Amino acid sequence: MNTLPLAARLDLTQVETLAADLRAHAGDDLVLDAGATTHLGALGLQVLAAAALGWRRAGYRLTIAPRSEAFDEALALFGVTLADLQSEEAA
């Protein structure tokens, strides 16, 4: 299982890089390390949600751990649960 550290700010400035990094890890189980993420914007969330859907459809595990308090707070503000962003097996 590979680990991908997420940027501190997941916003418009980072979504292209995030999407490319996720594509590079497609076809395998993946852990997203959000432990240093201080800001999760709507576009970053959208990329993560699309990745979760892709991993589910492909039958691979996508897990987000560790997670910073700021990451979890952003999920709550958006009304999104961790289960929405992880594969069913990981949730």
Provide mean pLDDT across the span 32-59: 97
pLDDT > 70 in the chain, percent: 96
* pLDDT value, residue 87: 79
The answer to whether the CB of 31 falls within 8 A of the CB of 65 is yes
Quote the CA–CA distance of 15 and 58 in Å, as a whole number. Answer: 22
Q: CB 82: neighbour CB atoms within 10 A?
A: 15
Secondary structure of residue 63 in the 3-state scheme: strand
* Angle at alpha carbon of residue 55, lines to 34 and 68, rounded to 5°: 10
